[in-house]
Structure 1
Amino acid sequence: MIVAVGMASVGTVMPAAADTDLPEYLTKMRAEEMWKVADGTGITVAVIDSGVKDLPGLKGRVLPGVSFMEPPVEHPDQTYPPHDDFGGHGTTMTAAIVGDGSDGGPRGLAPGAKVMPIRTSIGTPMAFAAIGEASKGVRYAADNGAKIINLSIGGWWSFDKLRPAIQYAQSKGVIVFTGMGNEGEEGNATNPIAILSGVLGVGAVDINGDPMALSSHGQDTDLSSYGGKTAVRCKDNTAWCMSDGGTSYATALASASAALIWSAHPDWTANQVIRVLIETAGAPRDGVKRNDYVGYGIPRPSKVLLDHAGNPGAPDIAPLDGKAPVKAPTPGAGQTAAPRAESAAAKSDFSWQWPALGAVAAVILGVGGTVIVKRRRR
């Protein structure tokens, strides 16, 4: 079921951590080695979410941004600056990409990148307006220098506005990532944004590379990344707590992975970055090109930056092309039209080979082929 959820879960408050401390998932990804080659410098990631709280660990890493939140009727002069965040979800996503790890927050995977915060009504009583606001945000990001758009949110409201906005961004050479959803244990409704052509749907795995039970999955799962225990903003956004990051956090790490690759290869197009991300991802253990639980696997930017793997291929051919155009979906039985943010409240090189998934499902629903084609329900 796709439902509105809180921005961050209640968890154990994190003690202040040293800036040099690296979480295990970054160690597995060989982050410190990668940063000697590329750290995201020159790449702007638009985080369309609940805004961002100005924290010491984000100083100098966040652009002015913009807010598309509409004021309530009873307070028409109310303003909502992008550098504010009621719930903490957008702040967590920002830190996962560019944070310096201070005060117990996460170290960002692409610390040299810049985040463009685009604030929506996620996490407020006006959350039903968030997808329409996100549509404006997508266009703003595309027109103002963002190379990557991180949508760790989803929902059915105003989907008809979001689809052309994403198509516009893609026409400007922007990569769009979205979380698959955290409904894997509750009916497995997936984020409708993930069905859109060219959008990369991201699932969540634990530190061992196993698909998390909470992670929604299906034929629109393209990649998966770490969404287990990590530092997230507590629900009152006054401290860092330890909790599952879910597919939201996984999406931020996928966005940061793309930023690292693009930073090292600024002459590549979005198609080439996506192609190399998929080509160098850890493949499913069951021998298929992709499956519905992890997609093509986990992004491994170290394979590109350190091992010089991956063929970028043709700059103008989309790796996920070949699917039929999709019509705006309508909520099915048991689904609500309310938008939501995914709960964040989610050897070396993170180069896992993926499990056969027998513990997750008796049958693998997605069978990969030899051609990278994103298949569609509709």
Structure 2
Amino acid sequence: MGFKRVWSTTGVVALTGALLLTSAQTASADYVRDKQWVLDVFAMKDTWSETQGQGVIVAVVDSGVDGSHPDLTGQVLGGKDFTGGGNAQEDKIGHGTKMASIIAGHGHGAGNSSGVIGLAPKAKILPLRTLQTRDDNNSDETWGAAVRYAVDHGAKVINLSIANDGGKTLSAGREAIAYAEDHDVVVVAGSGNDGSSRVSEPAALPGVLSVGAVDKHANVWEDSNSGKGLALTAPGVDIVGANPTMSNGYGVGSGTSDATAFVSAAAALVRAKYPDLTAGQIINRLIKSASFLGHKGLKAPDEEYGYGIIRPRQAVTMDIPAGPKENPLGQLKSSNSTSGKESEETGTSVQAEKKKSSSSDILVIAGGIAAAVVVVGVLFAVIRSRRNGGNGGRGFGGGVSPQGAGYPPQHPTYPPAQQPYPNSVPNQGYPTPPQHSNPYTQQPPNQGQ
């Protein structure tokens, strides 16, 4: 069946951080809200006056989502379990619940002022459980089936806070992502937590919005995978979220999982604000509104920052032309496509994979045919030569040069969107690096094209 381990992109760091928060003597719901530094640096109160993600379903393909958590009540749909355990709202790890809270948590208590509030608090979560424990094989067949289910049940954004162990996504996973892209769904995935210079799959696949992690100073997290094909970066360090496995219901951790959830939430905000835009145009807005936030001399796409760090408020308020309907990051093609140019256009379709895997067989067969033709030709020439008294006759030449499936870059070049940015905006009370004040408040030039 080709099973392959696919890990969540939060990792052990999340567990360590969760234990630290749980052991704090002053830990409380209000303390949890105070830990959400992202809300301030993204000026979310201003953003929510524009949109809160209402009407958008975000699928969380993960360890399940605990819909009974006080910060998620009423936000979580029925979903489906793909592990055989039967309940998509059972989360034994806490990972999926944390992602859901980052996306659509609404807090609790008076005025919902306590607990975790997500960037898109009125979006709905579709929980799709594909693993029960951290030791489970989250195979391509399993999460691929969940992606298809999400598409068929109205999800407009799919959060994949997962990354494989360095291998390639199998056909079941690629087909599922191609299906999602073909049905106007934004697919978001984490780049991985290995500190590698290579973006992990499925994030690295064409059309997928791949996400790396940065800290509150807008610096890349040391364990965030980077490299060609990275699309965006988002907060992923010291992130608090709901976690039903902790005694107080919350945990703190770092990882590209968290960054992925923030981008999924931002996508939900934009989809709610601009319901007529295609998935590709939503991605375009997220890219065009991103910023390098004071990191000078970078050119988009940068291998560590992609097209920049997301800015949800600018993504919903900037004057950005809709642009082409197509996904600026490319698109996977399904093997069911009738296009004869799949392998040349995408380089990642199943049909192209089959051509590649069978190319050696084609060469062997072609070589055999060529050899047979040569032998027949030689015999014919010898016979004719003898008949003509040894005079040279007209001979044969033969050979087959089949062309293998070409694989272009997975993420087509996109027009650069960033320039060096000013650093003269005062901070908002968060620690800042020596070279500039709070980077998240800086305003780059209008990037609408």
TM-score interval for Structure 1 and Structure 2 normalised by the shorter chain: 0.7 to 0.9
Segment of structure 1 superposing worse, 280-289 or 256-265: 280-289
In the alignment, is the contact (CA less than 8 A) between 1:224 and 1:294 conserved in 2?
Answer: yes
Give, in whole Å, the separation in 1 of the partners of 2:28 and 2:76.
21
Give, in whole Å, the separation in 2 of the partners of 1:13 and 1:59.
23
Aligned to 2:205: 196
Give, in whole Å, the separation in 2 of the partners of 1:91 and 1:7.
16
Alpha-carbon RMSD: 3.1
Which one of the candidate residues 75, 80, 85 is aligned to 1:61? 75
Structure 2 residue 128 is matched with structure 1 residue 107: no
Give, in whole Å, the separation in 2 of the partners of 1:9 and 1:293.
25
Secondary structure of 2:117's partner?
coil
Question: Is the alpha carbon distance of 1:212 and 1:6 closer, same or farther for their aligned partners in structure 2, counting shifts above 3 Å?
Answer: closer
Aligned to 2:215: 206
Question: Is the alpha carbon distance of 1:210 and 1:240 closer, same or farther for their aligned partners in structure 2, counting shifts above 3 Å?
Answer: farther
Deviations 1:59-86 (A, max 9, x none): 011111111113xxxxxxxx33001011
Which one of the candidate residues 121, 128, 144 is aligned to 1:118? 128
Which one of the candidate residues 85, 88, 103 is aligned to 2:91? 85
In the alignment, is the contact (CA less than 8 A) between 1:194 and 1:201 conserved in 2?
Answer: yes
If asked which structure has higher relative contact order (CA below 8 Å, sep 6+), I would say: 1
Deviations 1:76-112 (A, max 9, x none): xxx3300101110000000001112349743200001
Which one of the candidate residues 262, 274, 287 is aligned to 1:265? 274
Question: Is the alpha carbon distance of 1:158 and 1:205 closer, same or farther for their aligned partners in structure 2, counting shifts above 3 Å?
Answer: closer
Question: Is the alpha carbon distance of 1:2 and 1:190 closer, same or farther for their aligned partners in structure 2, counting shifts above 3 Å?
Answer: farther
Give, in whole Å, the separation in 2 of the partners of 1:59 and 1:83.
11
Give, in whole Å, the separation in 2 of the partners of 1:178 and 1:275.
16
Structure 2 residue 25 is matched with structure 1 residue 13: no
Give, in whole Å, the separation in 1 of the partners of 2:55 and 2:6.
35
Aligned to 2:181: 170
In the alignment, is the contact (CA less than 8 A) between 2:72 and 2:107 conserved in 1?
Answer: no
Secondary structure of 2:90's partner?
coil
Deviations 1:28-62 (A, max 9, x none): 11101111110000111000000012201100111
Report deviation, 1:128.
1.4
One-letter amino acid of the counterpart of residue 70, structure 2: P
Secondary structure of 2:71's partner?
helix
Question: Is the alpha carbon distance of 1:294 and 1:157 closer, same or farther for their aligned partners in structure 2, counting shifts above 3 Å?
Answer: closer
Deviations 1:246-281 (A, max 9, x none): 100000000000111111111111111011110110
Segment of structure 1 superposing worse, 234-243 or 9-18: 234-243
Secondary structure of 1:192's partner?
coil
Report deviation, 1:236.
3.7
One-letter amino acid of the counterpart of residue 178, structure 2: Q
Give, in whole Å, the separation in 1 of the partners of 2:51 and 2:426.
18
In the alignment, is the contact (CA less than 8 A) between 2:271 and 2:282 conserved in 1?
Answer: yes
In the alignment, is the contact (CA less than 8 A) between 1:8 and 1:235 conserved in 2?
Answer: no
Where do 1:196-275 residues align within 5 Å? 196-232=205-241, 236-275=245-284
Aligned to 1:39: 52
Structure 2 residue 290 is matched with structure 1 residue 298: no
Identity %: 34
Greater Rg over alpha carbons, structure? 2
Structure 2 residue 347 is matched with structure 1 residue 325: yes
Secondary structure of 2:181's partner?
helix
Report deviation, 1:321.
2.7
Secondary structure of 2:106's partner?
coil
Deviations 1:178-206 (A, max 9, x none): 0001110xx55542212211001100000
Segment of structure 1 superposing worse, 277-286 or 291-300: 277-286
Give, in whole Å, the separation in 1 of the partners of 2:72 and 2:203.
29
Segment of structure 1 superposing worse, 258-267 or 282-291: 282-291
In the alignment, is the contact (CA less than 8 A) between 1:52 and 1:84 conserved in 2?
Answer: yes
Secondary structure of 1:46's partner?
strand
Secondary structure of 1:176's partner?
strand
Aligned to 2:368: none
Give, in whole Å, the separation in 1 of the partners of 2:28 and 2:86.
29
Question: Is the alpha carbon distance of 1:112 and 1:233 closer, same or farther for their aligned partners in structure 2, counting shifts above 3 Å?
Answer: closer
Structure 2 residue 152 is matched with structure 1 residue 152: no
TM-score, normalising length: structure 1? 0.77
Give, in whole Å, the separation in 1 of the partners of 2:427 and 2:203.
27
In the alignment, is the contact (CA less than 8 A) between 2:95 and 2:243 conserved in 1?
Answer: no
Report deviation, 1:239.
3.5
Secondary structure of 1:140's partner?
helix
Report deviation, 1:146.
0.2
In the alignment, is the contact (CA less than 8 A) between 1:95 and 1:108 conserved in 2?
Answer: yes
Gaps of 5+ in 1: 71-78, 330-346, 358-369, 373-378
Question: Is the alpha carbon distance of 1:348 and 1:59 closer, same or farther for their aligned partners in structure 2, counting shifts above 3 Å?
Answer: farther
In the alignment, is the contact (CA less than 8 A) between 1:10 and 1:235 conserved in 2?
Answer: no
Deviations 1:309-329 (A, max 9, x none): 3222122x2211387423789
Question: Is the alpha carbon distance of 1:305 and 1:234 closer, same or farther for their aligned partners in structure 2, counting shifts above 3 Å?
Answer: closer
Secondary structure of 1:58's partner?
coil
In the alignment, is the contact (CA less than 8 A) between 1:10 and 1:234 conserved in 2?
Answer: no
Gaps of 5+ in 2: 332-344, 354-424, 436-446
Give, in whole Å, the separation in 2 of the partners of 1:269 and 1:52.
28
One-letter amino acid of the counterpart of residue 325, structure 1: G
Report deviation, 1:26.
1.3
Deviations 1:320-368 (A, max 9, x none): 1387423789xxxxxxxxxxxxxxxxx5899xxxx9x9xxxxxxxxxxx
In the alignment, is the contact (CA less than 8 A) between 1:229 and 1:242 conserved in 2?
Answer: no
Give, in whole Å, the separation in 2 of the partners of 1:235 and 1:59.
13
Question: Is the alpha carbon distance of 1:116 and 1:87 closer, same or farther for their aligned partners in structure 2, counting shifts above 3 Å?
Answer: same
